[in-house]
Structure 1
Amino acid sequence: MAISVSDYVFQRVAEAGVKDVFMVSGGGIMYLTDALNRSKDLRYWCNYHEQACAIAAEGYARTTENLGVCLVTTGPGSTNALSGVAGAFVDSIPVLVISGQVRTGIMADYSYQRQVGPQEINITPMAEPVTKHCVTVTKPEDLRYELEKCLYLTRAGRPGPVWLNLPLDIQSAMIEPDQQRSFVPEGKATPELDPAALGQIAELLLASKRPVIIGGNGIVLGHARKAFRELVAKLQIPALSTISGMDILAEDNPLFQGRIGPGGQRRANFALQNSDLVLALGTSLSISAIGFSDKFAPKAKKVLVNIDAGDLKKKNITIEYPVLADVKEFIEGLLKRVEAHTYQPTQRWLDACAMWKREYPPMPAPEHLQKSHVDIYAAYDELSRQLDNTDVVVSGNSLDGCIIAYQNHRVKDGQVAFTSACMGAMGWDLPALVGACIADDQKRRGVLVTGDGSVLFNIQELMFLAQNRLNAKLFISNNDGYQSMRNTQRRFFDGREIGTDKLSGVGNPDFRKLAEAFGLKYMLIETNDQLPDAIKTVFADKDPWIVEMLVSQEQQRFRANSYRKPDGTIASRPMEDMDPLLPREELERNMTMFDNDD
């Protein structure tokens, strides 16, 4: 039976389990938008910028753990989407971008022409570096093959975005899909698991005294949460997470030791840096996880399991046992290998990990908290108490949104929590909240904590919240500008500031008036003692809210910071040496207690 290309595209999108598509209307996609409008299986949602479309699709994909889809027009609509797509690419999020193009009869010959049709741009070579596959379909008979290839590749192996560019005459063409060639994948999408590697890793585990397991983004992307938790429970090994895997274990799991990295938790870093075996699953062990110091787990043998061969080749650390494998397949295989064994780390190791959890909680001591303003650690502490198991918690790309969430958000079982770990683009957060709220038939409450600087980059998406009356709560940490750059300039450039606040070129709006202009409810929180009642009031209501929190420019953020040496060069502290700095004797005691065991 004949069907238009546009109708067929969205028929297949719905068959892939997608229920919602994010879009901005445009003449270059007029047949696609009409087909989407007529679809009985899909809902369309209108963003106010194409970058927001791509990011909303990412937030949707992260929340549903399925595919996210966005529809953008030709020319500027397509180029606007690129930054959002790049973020999905480096974080390995499955997103299908469908874009329009001028009709094939007037497309430029890009070997010598820049443009022929109105708003025409050669988007394919721009998108190729940040997609797994990008194609412009110029023949209707190729549509089924290219669409199936896109739908397959976005989730096969290491996930990531794909891009399908459809000229106007292709969109309107009639095809008979059953008569067209289909896409047949060549070989297995995931690498073959080496049984010998499984046996070797099992032996390492059984021989270790002080092991830790690190779970990363691959646990989420590989649908391996259940298997990961079973492995941790079976082996009774302290478990750590990276920033991309912050919701793989709940805070109340007795084996959850914390989150690693220079911006992570001291309790986790002490365990990592004292371990004798690191089993890193589904993580790339990026700079954000291990820091710039070369002293990453210096006493440990390191096993890294990753589906991408490129991520097994590390420049800054030595991985003694790299394993190329699908993480879920690896964990399930390892469980079978160790099921006949009774294994537990030494009691001394478990006691030490318990001591670090008890003595070094993520919540700073009262003397380190701000009293005159809202302390962002106190805000996350109260949010963690009141958040529900079904909430989606989005951490914005600001110091207060991302770093302190990573340190002080106590995840509950069932929550979804994520941030833009690799790209970290300012302006990512509000569209990501939009996608998270739309996901799962809008059954989840979306909560975003971000900074006053980042939220302004895509502030137009407040209209999305208002238009659709989403159950979205936007907490804005207002410290009058870009705190990260302010800190950097104060630390390394004798306090000479540029482009950080209203005195150096960057001002803020009145957020109360902004909320009123968009038709959103508003709350101001000025001190810590206002937090419990304010959050309770906001959470009790299903309307979208802007909650402005006044945060001091002197707010401390405790991490393993870089420092300037006497010769003027900059060095990084090892990740266990976090602010507020411990007395040197205390730090040494924690880092040498197992020296005689090796």
Structure 2
Amino acid sequence: MKLSDYVVAFLQKKGIRHFFGYQGTMIAHLVDSIERNPDTENHSSYNEQGAAFAACGYAQAKEECACAYATSGPGAVNLLSGVADAYYDSLPVIFLTGQLNTYEYSGIKGLRQQGFQETDIVAMAKPITKYAVQIRDAEDIVTELNKAYHIATTGRRGPVLIDLPMNIQRGEVENPVYDMEFEEDVCGVEVEEAVETASAHILHGTDEAVRAICDELEQAKRPVIMLGHGVDSAVSQQKLIRFARSRQIPIITSVLAKSVLAYDDPQNFGCIGGAYGHRYANMIANAKSDLLLCFGISLCTRQIGTKVNEFAKGAKIIRIDLDPYNLQRNIHENGENEIKILAETGTLIQALDKVPCREQEGISDWMVVCSEIRENLQAVDDALPERYPNRMIGELSDMLKDTGAIAVDVGQHMVWSYQSFKNREGQKLLFSGGHGAMGYALPAAIGAYYATGKPTACICGDGAFQMNIQELEWVKRENLPVKIMVMNNEALGMIRHLQRDYFDCLFAGTTDGCGFASCDFSKVAAAYGIPSCRMHCEDVKEEAPQFMEGQGPKLLEVMLEHGTFAYPKTCLGEPIHNQQPYAPKSVYDHLMAL
């Protein structure tokens, strides 16, 4: 069996039907095998970064493994931003790269380059993959491919990279194996060291962890569940929500986990955010709770603010995480009033789901308090004239209610989207979280379409959209049902806001006439053959619905004022529950006294 045929057949048997990449000499055998396999489809991007982000969007939307490929040298290097995105957001993606024939290597140590378009992609990718390896002998592919897939899909999931020299791709596999057994964690030595370093106070056993959680819940009067992307199974998510409903515990999510709960779910109390989180979520978690149950959420500075030790000082924090490295970090000073549990969130949630619910005095009153905080602070934000883009995003979400997934790019529009997009039950919002990569949304929406089989959408800013604008040809070529919204304020709005506050309004590289400019995106889309429309923000509610109807791709360009802002925003040094523009003192004091 030809080796490249085996690689494709292996991944197809693991459920990967769609492959994203860009053709090249050193990867041609693999692409030929994808094309010849009757059960797989090859999808060509116009930059390898687009292929990588499409694979990330596929993995996010389907919650399963994805695959992207590239040729050697510049092709492989172009994948790396998507590799990093998958690594930081724990997405199981198999990256396959072509490489020089093994016989072209000279064996001369220190030689800068062995041949044309050669790059040591394994060394470059190792810091941002769970596993990266070059195959030097065809006989190794069976073990290495099985091992790489196992690593990508178990434990804290993430990307792997396999570098395939051209002569290896055309080699032979004599005994193809599609399901090898491995130890629970093939990188166990590193994990053991991380556990030892983390703390002697980490709980490991499920029974002990469940007892600790239940004991703390019995004592708590104001518990909150903080739900992160680490709860990556739909079954586990629903069991955790059921656990919260039965005990009347409010849920606050990370941005990546926003779509776990529908926007109008009574248990949903918003997204935590050190700078731009929901005002009410920040107040409930940081200032009002006495117990935070944190499932698969990193509690990084973007979530809880740069003054980490100041977060939720009046609450006990229980952190359930599969990654021992995350648990090495303390939130409270010296880890006081903090319980760390090293566990797979799904296993622990399943055990908690079996614990009988007990009546707790005062818990229903706590939900009333949280609801009052949400209602009052949401009213404060809804009244802010600066938040007109948020209101427009809410209007757009009504027009996109039938889409399976919405990929959101990076910038002010990302903040407006996670604050105000009204996601329905089962509708996924996809973000580039830890990596925060501009140019993510359009290819991610493409990948999400192949993952779900449903129409998708993407929301971009004018700066972010230009990063991978060439993938419009991919959308047109395959006539994909992707609705594209470009928020055009003719500026890099988030940095412009920063420059206004801290750089005396010197808008270097962010506005027209100062190193940045934007085009007419509706005309660009028309040049690609995609129906398009340009309108001002205030006209979206009345004019956009008719344009957005129908099948196939469309691009809607929404014109905004140059000086747009993302609010509420935590001012540097302020507690995260007291954001600008500040709530009226009477409202703030009343809610803090509840």
1:543: how far off? 1.8
Report the counterpart of residue 68 of structure 2 in structure 1.
70
Distance in 1 separating the partners of 2:179 and 2:531:
50
Task: Evaluate the alpha carbon distance shift between residue 367 and residue 29 of structure 1 in structure 2; reply closer, same or farther with a 3 A threshold.
Answer: closer
Q: 1:107 aligns with which of 105, 108, 122?
A: 105
Matched, 1:310 2:308: no
Quick check: 221-230 or 377-386, which moved more? 221-230
Indicate if the aligned counterparts of 2:261 and 2:425 stay in contact, CA closer than 8 A. Answer: yes
Equivalent position amino acid for 2:247 in 1: L
Which amino acid in the other structure matches residue 327 of structure 2? L
Q: Which position in structure 2 is the counterpart of 1:463?
A: 473
1:18 aligns with 2:16: yes
Deviation string, structure 1 residues 251-276 (Cα, Å, up to 9, x no partner): 22211111111311112122112000
2:513: which partner in 1?
Answer: 503
Q: How does 1:75-114 map to 2 (within 5 A)?
A: 75-109=73-107, 111-114=109-112
Match of 2:183 among 182, 186, 190: 186
How far the C-alpha of 1:344 sits from its partner, in A, is: 6.4
CA distance in 2, matches of 1:463, 1:524: 19
Moved more, 105-114 or 289-298: 105-114
Structure 1 CA distance for aligned equivalents of residues 537 and 494 of structure 2: 22
Worse-matched range after superposition: 112-121 or 222-231: 222-231
CA distance in 2, matches of 1:250, 1:500: 35
C-alpha separation between the residues in 1 aligned to 2:588 and 2:542? 39
RMSD, aligned α-carbons: 2.0
2:392 to 375, 379, 390: 379
Q: Is the 8 A contact 2:247 2:357 kept in 1?
A: no
Q: Which amino acid aligns with 1:202?
A: C
Q: Counterparts in 2 of 1:206-217, with a 5 A limit?
A: 206-217=218-229
Q: Distance in 2 between matches of 1:289 and 1:186?
A: 34
Q: Which residue of 2 aligns with 1:37?
A: 35
The answer to whether the 8 A contact 2:206-2:351 is kept is no
Q: 2: distance between equivalents of 1:221 and 1:296?
A: 28
1:318-467 alignment, distance < 5 Å: 318=333, 319=335, 320-336=338-354, 338-339=355-356, 341-343=358-360, 345-361=362-378, 364-366=381-383, 368-369=385-386, 375-388=388-401, 390-400=403-413, 402-440=414-452, 443-467=453-477
Q: CA deviation at 1:292?
A: 1.5
User: How far apart, CA to CA, are the structure 2 residues paired with 1:365 and 1:484?
Assistant: 20
Q: CA deviation at 1:113?
A: 1.4
> Which segments of 5 or more consecutive residues in structure 2 lack a partner in the other structure?
192-203
- How far apart in 2 are the matches of 1:220 and 1:572? 33
1:237 aligned partner: 249
Using the TM superposition, name which of 217-226 and 268-277 deviates more.
217-226
- For residue 389 of structure 1, report the CA deviation from its aligned partner: 5.1
Q: CA deviation at 1:395?
A: 1.3
Amino acid across the alignment from 1:477: M
What is the alpha-carbon distance in structure 2 between the residues aligned to residue 497 and residue 480 of structure 1? Answer: 12
Residue identity in the other structure for 1:334? L
Deviation at 1:392, TM superposition (A): 0.5
Q: Deviations over 1:491-549 (max 9, x none)?
A: 11111121112210111122122112111111112142x22343322432212111111
* Paired residues of 1:211 and 1:345 also in contact (CA < 8 A): no
In the TM superposition, what is the alpha-carbon distance from 1:340 to its structure 2 partner? Answer: 5.2
Match among 158, 161, 167 for residue 159 of structure 2: 161
Aligned partner (choices 111, 114, 117) of residue 116 of structure 1: 114
Report the alpha carbon displacement of residue 150 of structure 1 after superposing the two structures with TM. 1.0
Q: Say if 1:219 and 1:248, in contact at 8 Å, map to a contact too.
A: no
Which residue in the other structure is 1:296 paired with? 311
Runs of 4+ in 1 over 4 A off after TM superposition: 180-183, 188-192
Q: CA deviation at 1:345?
A: 4.8
> What is the distance in 2 between the residues matched to 1:116 and 1:532?
58
Deviation at 1:325, TM superposition (A): 0.4
State the AA in 2 paired with 1:368: P
Matched, 1:584 2:594: no
Residues 151-180 of structure 1, C-alpha deviation per residue, up to 9 Å, x if partnerless? 1111100000000111111100111125x7
Amino acid at match of 1:589: H
Aligned residue-pair number: 573
Give the Cα–Cα distance (whole angstroms) in 2 for the partners of residues 534 and 181 of structure 1.
53
* Kept in 1: contact 2:27–2:71 (CA 8 A): yes
What amino acid sits opposite 2:348 in the alignment?
Answer: F
Contact 2:29-2:169 within 8 A present in 1 as well: yes
Match for residue 477 of structure 1 among 472, 487, 500: 487
Q: CA deviation at 1:586?
A: 3.1
* Structure 2 CA distance for partners of 1:182 and 1:136, relative to 1, 3 Å: farther
How far off its partner does 1:574 sit? Answer: 1.2
Residues 245, 259 of structure 1: alpha-carbon distance in 2 compared, 3 angstrom cutoff: same
Q: Give, in angstroms, the shift of residue 383 of structure 1.
A: 2.0
Report the 3-state secondary structure (helix = DSSP H, G, I; strand = E; otherwise coil) of the residue aligned with 1:364. helix
Q: Is the 8 A contact 1:520 1:544 kept in 2?
A: yes
Identical columns (%): 29
Distance 1:579 1:519 in 2: 43
Superimposed CA distance per residue, residues 545-584 of structure 1 (whole angstroms, 9 cap, x where no aligned partner): 111111112323213333xxxxxxxx33211112220133
Deviation, structure 1 residue 362: 7.3
1: CA distance, partners of 2:350 / 2:475: 42
Shift of 1:439: 1.7
- Cα pair 2:535 2:557 within 8 Å, conserved: yes
Distance 2:6 2:528 in 1: 37
Residue identity matched to 1:309: P
Question: Which sits farther off after the overlay, 386-395 or 422-431?
Answer: 386-395
Q: Which residue of 2 aligns with 1:567?
A: none
2:349 match: secondary structure: helix
Q: State whether residues 462 and 486 of structure 2, in contact with CA within 8 Å, keep that contact through their aligned partners in structure 1.
A: yes
Residue 198 of structure 2 is matched in structure 1 by: none
What SS does the corresponding residue of 1:212 show, helix, strand or coil?
strand
For 1:339, the aligned partner's letter is P
Change (3 A) 1:591 1:502: same
TM-score (norm 2): 0.92
Report Cα offsets for 1:306-328 as digits up to 9, x if no partner: 10011112255455101100001
When structure 1 is superposed on structure 2, of 270-279 and 385-394 the one drifting more is 385-394
Local SS of the residue matching 2:589 = helix
Structure 1 residues 108 and 218, CA gap change in structure 2 (3 angstroms) = farther
